[in-house]
Structure 1
Amino acid sequence: MFLLYASIALIAPYSIGCKPSKSGVFDNVTVLIKGLDKTTTEDSILIEFDDSLSKYLNNKPSEIVIIRNQFIPKLETNSVADLTKVQNLTLAGNGIREIQQGTFQNLPNLKVLNLSRNSIEEVRIGIFTDLRMHDLYLDHNKISRIGYKAFSKLHLKNLFLRNNRISRWSKDWFADSSVLVLDMGYNLIEELPPNAFHLMSKPANNSMSIIFTGNQVKKLNSHVFSGVSTYDRIVLDGNSMDRLAPGVFDGVRRVNVLNLNNNSLSEVNADVLGTVQIDVLMLEDNKLRCLSTDIFRMEELDIDGNPISCFCVKTWLDWRDRHSNPSIYHITNLEEECI
């Protein structure tokens, strides 16, 4: 009897499930590919199970690769590597939760990487280091953690991190990186620290745009924007700011558009703006009762939706009578209401 049980015990592990199931990073995944040549047609490839894309793509016209709305929970090292022809790679809506370091190695011609609408929770250091692209889409994920220097040595024109769960900002994320447009809209950020962007390298003859629409920023502290001399756009609409600290624009020479719409600002004075040249100042839907004419140095000032007092309007009209080209300040409607 003992020998019979021993035989069963030895045989059972091999008799049950003796044919192992095959799986990989890409398990029954359909890949759409296109060439940039307009004469090439769209092709589709079914990968039954594999850990790498390159063997399926490098011998075909595959400058554009799309894998969308399938199931790929994890990208492993080299799974999306050595795609030497690919210029536009879309991996959107695939339920990706994790990306390992080394996933995107040797992509010399990549211009656009789209990882939007996945379930990514963390951006670790080394995932995107040294990539040179035009656009990186990480919007509509679940990102709440970004590792120290996670975007270091990243060379981009546009980085989209909208609609995630990022609650704090660290200037170390972008050390020695070049990003022209950084979109952090609709996250949970409450505060921007001093010198928030000074570690980001600035391409010659280009100005940076930073977008924090719809976060939870309550105030702007001193020296937040120091270290960058020229901004194309600073967009902070839809936050909870009730004041701007003195020196917030210290070190900044020019801002083309400063958007502070839809906050709770009750005053903006000339000392806060300092010597920075602002071309367009947007202050719609705040709590402003008045603005000193000392700040009237910009080309356009938008103040719709504020409870501006008629006394203040009269001050503006007196100022207008003494200066040229006053129509740019858009006070016609207020003037009519106060007559």
Structure 2
Amino acid sequence: MRLLHLLPLLCLVVCAVDARKGVRGRRIRSQDRSNGIKRFAADCKESWINGEKYFDCQERQLTSVLLGWPEDIHHLLLARNRIQVLRDNTFSHFQNLKSLDLQQNEISRIEEGAFNGLSKLTTLLLQHNHLKVASEGILIPMPQLKYLRLHDNPWRCDCQLDSLIRFIQVPSNRNIGNYARCAEPRDFSGRQLKKMDAELLCSPVQIPTPDDKQTPASQKKSDVISLCHSYIHPVLRLDCRNRDLKTVPADIPLDIVRLDLSKNNIKKLRQGEFTSIKDLKLLNLSGNSLESIDTAAFTGLLYLGELDLSNNSLRYFQYGVLEDLYFLKRLSLGDNPWICDYNIHYLIYWLKHHPDVSHTGLVCSEPEEFRGWPVENYVKTYNAECPKDKQLGQRPGTEPAGNTPLELTAEIDEEEVVSDLGPRPYRGPKKYEIIRLS
């Protein structure tokens, strides 16, 4: 009987515990929504940008796509993982996907149906992987594809690559497979897939024609851009950090918005280095031992908003270097050996007439008496008014009486003036009138 009386109490306790768990779960879910970023397995992050959902799983040591990821995402970022094979229907449940970033993995094989279901995909990044062969068939499920990056893969240019190369060379596919090159066989090594003669791929004897063969100089030039890492989302970005570059690459994609050239060996910026990338908004040139910048080096960068020139060997700017940067908002100048002499005045003059530009690191390095001074303070002392002439019989800070100019007389020995002109007869001291205009 006592047990019968205790049962209602036990039910009440259990119900209370369940209710607390439910409230706690709702609180956690509400906190996730309020933060705007959700975390999933492998510490991936979900976020919204401009009304589109991004799922960031970069640098997570992933070997495959995991179960349980949200299916309504628009942009899937899987760069810098350890994925080796893309199997059939790997992405078939992401039917809203617009971009897929798989660069810098270890992908060596893509099965025919790996991209099934991606009918809305416009951007596919497969550069910096281990791909040797692929066919046009893997691209059939993506009719909206506009951007395909394939460079820095060891492509074997033989009959197995015939359909892919012919697809790349269709004139309307202007952003498909740019910069991708053959790695083997030796006769075709270094040739661009875009320019490869497809008729030679399946011929039993491959004889390169003289016109099609790459010259060593042009091959080296194009290899520079293949070393860089490009990213499409959230903005078009090219990362060329620490690539031992001696000059600015000439074949930078025209639509790049952010360009990172830091930690290289670029010592001089020449005229018109960036005229082809007119949409550039951020340029990082820090850590390059940069010594000089030609006057027209930044010509064409009308929309550049941020310029980093820190940690270089700049001493001053030539007149006119910054005149094309109409929309610049941030200028980093620290860790440069700025010389505080007349040459530095242009930079201060330009900054004075562009008060919206935030700048940092402008400190005198030479000469020794100004070392550590802000350059602005040095220029103020340089332009300070000269002290007024000491005036006979006048107190400092007072003006002479009346509105007439102050007239002074002084005795000057004529011989001191003309002694080097030969002997003169002695005439005695002569008086001169010295007039100071107030």
TM-score normalised according to structure 1 size: 0.50
Structure number having the greater helix percentage: 2
Which structure has more relative contact order (CA 8 Å, sep 6+)? It is 1
**Structure label with greater radius of gyration:** 2
